[in-house]
Structure 1
Amino acid sequence: MSDNESARAEQPKRRVSRPLAGGFTTVLAAAIAGLSLAAPVAATPVATEESTEASFYLPAGDRVPGTPGSVIQLRPLTGDPALAGARNYLVLYRSVDMQGNPVAVSGTLAVPDSTPPPGGWPLISWAHGTTGVADVCAPSQDTSPGFPAHDYTALVRRLQERWIAAGYAVAQTDYQGLGTPGPHGYLIGTAEQRAVTDMARAARQVDPDIGVRWVAMGHSQGGQAVIFTDAQAQQWAPELQLLGSVALAPASHQGIGLQASQLATTAGVAGALTPLTGGTVSFLPLIIRGAQTMTPLDPARFLTPRAQSMLAQADTGCIGRLRQQDSWGGLTADDVFNRDGDISELIRVLNENDPSALALTQPLLVLQGRADTTVPALATDAMVVQQRAGGQPVQYHSYPGADHRGVLDASFDDALAWVDTRFGR
């Protein structure tokens, strides 16, 4: 998950292929480490629309129902979060939540400012890493360095500009309920998939020079999202041609990881997990809020009174705030979990949204930093072992010395070569 750790000054560019260990030992190790953590739309132009910054994200209720992926409104972007070398748009489009209700979702689109190739611009639909669950954490609202996750979103934009320079259009969803009305289904894979896929649909409606072929790409939370996209998007949007997905440091094994952490607390040895989990307790309130979009989860059944009193911080603050020492970043597992508390419902939701056992429809490229302490390499190793054991088309590269953010830059050449090949370029 993302993502407000300090960016390293330099990350290695060399890719190293490592053998994957199989069996129960690897899966158990990854389980402990894992806490550290979809009707065709015509490609027709859409007129831009004037609105205030706040009202753009709050459409009238009668404007929200409609075909998934169709555009509600858009306007040109200049300055952040626009990408250099491109025509940029802020887009509000339609999707469907997990209860089957129509919802408005926001996102951005950048199209290279040049002549499209035959067949239209190849499209990358980008799924971002964790910024938070509060509306103020939506990446499309990053218009200045004062944005609470600016250090992460600005880093991602520099990477996306390399894709623009390579001749790709880049769309990025904010996900359902992030910036727009309703709760954000954090780590709820199908909800994320619908947002990512419907963003690809909306991109073609905004600019008919974008082709039907696309790749899903995402980091951290977004890495988990694009694996669900790989499994579900072709059925959700059959009029588009998904060629594959690229998952950078994808979140996995969250359910088993939380269970291991609580068991360690009950046994009085939670401190032993600290070297593996680092400061990732900070993500727990986001995980809880995400699970609550799927089930009436009562955190009082497993959180300490102190943790319960701090849970509402997730509703107003982004991940950087939650990671501070006077917030969730200052808590240990002992501070968070009641001994013998009932976390079974939370574990059930997390396990149902783990990407490890999905049946993929297109090839998947997984990219992982070996020095990552947010999504540890052991967790990703175990995920890939399970996917390959199930016969899934997964290619895996890892990068020594690259941390959670460093993998974005360290893996770019490999990602570009793989995506170029998928598009036959």
Structure 2
Amino acid sequence: MRPGRVVLIVFLALVLSGVMLGTGIVIGNVVTANQEQAQLDPFYTPPSTLPEKPGVIIRTEALGADPQFGKGYRFLYSTTLQDGSMAVSGAMLFIPDLAAPAEGRKVVGWAHGTVGQGDACAPSRDPANGMKDLSGFLPEAMRQGWIVVATDYTGLGTPGPNFYLVGGQEARDVVYSVRAVVDAPEYSAGKEWITFGHSQGGHSALWTGHLAKQIDPDLRLLGVAAAAPAAELASITNAQWNNAVGWVIGPEVAVSWPAAYPNLSLDGMITSAGKSNYERLSNECITTAAIEGLVRAQIGQTFFTESPTQNPTWDAVLKEETPAPLPADMPMLLMQGTADTVVLPWPNADLQTSWCAAGSRISALWLAKINHMSIAVNSGPTAVSWMTEVFDHKTPASSCDSPLPIIEPGQ
């Protein structure tokens, strides 16, 4: 056994011995969390008969967590799957205290990042964690009088499969969460809206930019904001498949992509350790999954046998789920931290360069020394300023001629 591995195992043993000292507290917290989730189960259980159309609120209740200058709610609403069948998703809803204008409130459709596929991971079922990424944006959005609606995505916290990094499903869930709020007269929502997402949610937001008009032509999507979007899937995968990130993202993809692409096989693509653990890990919430991923990577385990880009079938899905450049009439805000070790900076630098060359209208914010988890919060003020311009039907300044801080892989 290598000396480094011995040191790691000894270190983990010491950590675990320390954890055992607090076992009573840990067990107590787990029991409390399980009880809270069990109490929420009836709310998230769909009725025997679903609404006949998507974008309909099924039930609503107080979230138990209010933002500054507003009120928080959770709701269950109807959406559709890729085959057109009806499904349900949960969501958080934040309504400003400010009185609604005559033309109706502007709406922001938030798309969250990777959280894990277990029911307890759904943001609306765990608002203390679910609202963290919104903390740099939400209070000012309430001050502006905007509604913020935040889908959980289909199958996350509700029955049915969760289609992680499947752009069409993500877009439907985002669009129909907005439609549900617009059609509820008590919220005084107008039809103009912007989508904003982080990480996986950035992927969701970019796909929403492409598909929103097709999904619901009556709503008017004005722009797309994305913080550290998981967009350039092949580049990210090639760089991250054999490290801890592969252990976090891999299990979720291994569950969701074969559900969306039945011909996609796991055989030969996932290691024996991956096969033994992917279903369990996909249901762990992100912090727990990340800790295990770090440990497995440190002892030399990989989730994938090789980069999925080397497998023609997997590579085809990576390409299909990679969003194309947005058209010039759909303004975009790209925000990225240069210290991000999850969605690496250089693929999004490549995105900015290639999308600008293709005619996309991109405003960009590059923040030095900001990591993946911090970018959503730290970019909040810029997102609000940009959205204010877009909601006012102004043209935000383009960054397409500005120099990029990150241009080479590995930097």
TM bracket (short chain): 0.7 to 0.9
- Aligned pair 1:393/2:371, yes or no? no
Q: Which has the higher contact order (CA 8 A, sep 6+)?
A: 1
Local SS of the residue matching 1:331? helix
One-letter code of the match for 2:188? D
Pick from 217, 221, 230 the counterpart of residue 238 of structure 1. 217
Pick from 43, 53, 60 the counterpart of residue 56 of structure 1. 43
Query: Are the equivalent residues in 2 in contact too, given 1:301–1:343 (CA < 8 A)?
Result: no
For residues 343 and 267 of structure 2, what CA distance do their matches in structure 1 show?
A: 27
How far does residue 256 in structure 1 lie from its aligned partner after superposition?
Answer: 4.3
Aligned to 1:222: 201
Give 5+ residue unaligned stretches, structure 2: 1-37, 394-411
Query: Are the equivalent residues in 2 in contact too, given 1:256–1:347 (CA < 8 A)?
Result: no
Aligned to 2:18: none
Pick from 151, 166, 179 the counterpart of residue 188 of structure 1. 166
Q: 1:355 to 1:72 in 2, by over 3 A?
A: same
For residues 259 and 406 of structure 1, what CA distance do their matches in structure 2 show?
A: 24
How far does residue 218 in structure 1 lie from its aligned partner after superposition?
Answer: 0.8
For residues 380 and 341 of structure 2, what CA distance do their matches in structure 1 show?
A: 20
Percent of aligned pairs sharing the same letter: 28
Query: Are the equivalent residues in 1 in contact too, given 2:165–2:204 (CA < 8 A)?
Result: yes
Give the 5 Å matches for 1:158-169: 159-169=137-147
Aligned to 1:43: none
How far does residue 61 in structure 1 lie from its aligned partner after superposition?
Answer: 3.2
Pick from 408, 414, 422 the counterpart of residue 376 of structure 2. 408
For residues 233 and 206 of structure 2, what CA distance do their matches in structure 1 show?
A: 15
Local SS of the residue matching 1:100? coil
For residues 65 and 328 of structure 1, what CA distance do their matches in structure 2 show?
A: 43
Local SS of the residue matching 1:133? coil
One-letter code of the match for 1:248? A
For residues 311 and 195 of structure 2, what CA distance do their matches in structure 1 show?
A: 32
- Aligned pair 1:67/2:53, yes or no? yes
How far does residue 188 in structure 1 lie from its aligned partner after superposition?
Answer: 0.6
How far does residue 386 in structure 1 lie from its aligned partner after superposition?
Answer: 2.0
Local SS of the residue matching 2:108? strand
For residues 380 and 261 of structure 1, what CA distance do their matches in structure 2 show?
A: 15
Could you say which structure has the higher helix fraction?
Answer: 2
Aligned to 1:251: 230
Query: Are the equivalent residues in 2 in contact too, given 1:126–1:218 (CA < 8 A)?
Result: yes
How far does residue 403 in structure 1 lie from its aligned partner after superposition?
Answer: 1.3
Q: Deviations over 1:250-296 (max 9, x none)?
A: 0022234435667xxxxxxx6xxx6xxx6453211112222122123
How far does residue 65 in structure 1 lie from its aligned partner after superposition?
Answer: 4.0
Q: Deviations over 1:9-66 (max 9, x none)?
A: xxxxxxxxxxxxxxxxxxxxxxxxxxxxxxxxxxxxxxxxxx962111111231x242
Q: 1:350 to 1:358 in 2, by over 3 A?
A: farther
CA RMSD across the alignment: 2.5
Q: 1:301 to 1:83 in 2, by over 3 A?
A: same
For residues 419 and 373 of structure 1, what CA distance do their matches in structure 2 show?
A: 27
Give 5+ residue unaligned stretches, structure 1: 1-50, 145-149, 263-269
Q: 1:261 to 1:116 in 2, by over 3 A?
A: closer
Local SS of the residue matching 2:376? helix
For residues 341 and 142 of structure 2, what CA distance do their matches in structure 1 show?
A: 30
How far does residue 354 in structure 1 lie from its aligned partner after superposition?
Answer: 1.0
Pick from 313, 317, 320 the counterpart of residue 352 of structure 1. 320
Q: Deviations over 1:147-198 (max 9, x none)?
A: xxx2x64343463223212321111000111111111111111101111111
- Number of equivalenced pairs: 352
- Aligned pair 1:90/2:74, yes or no? yes
Query: Are the equivalent residues in 1 in contact too, given 2:79–2:173 (CA < 8 A)?
Result: yes
Q: 1:257 to 1:214 in 2, by over 3 A?
A: closer
How far does residue 69 in structure 1 lie from its aligned partner after superposition?
Answer: 0.7
Aligned to 1:129: 113
Query: Are the equivalent residues in 2 in contact too, given 1:134–1:314 (CA < 8 A)?
Result: no
Query: Are the equivalent residues in 2 in contact too, given 1:247–1:365 (CA < 8 A)?
Result: yes
For residues 217 and 190 of structure 1, what CA distance do their matches in structure 2 show?
A: 16
Larger radius of gyration: 2
Pick from 103, 112, 122 the counterpart of residue 119 of structure 1. 103
For residues 307 and 121 of structure 2, what CA distance do their matches in structure 1 show?
A: 34
Aligned to 1:294: 260
How far does residue 340 in structure 1 lie from its aligned partner after superposition?
Answer: 9.3
Query: Are the equivalent residues in 2 in contact too, given 1:107–1:140 (CA < 8 A)?
Result: yes
Local SS of the residue matching 2:334? strand
Q: Deviations over 1:92-127 (max 9, x none)?
A: 111111122110111011111121123111111100
Aligned to 1:209: 188
How far does residue 415 in structure 1 lie from its aligned partner after superposition?
Answer: 1.6
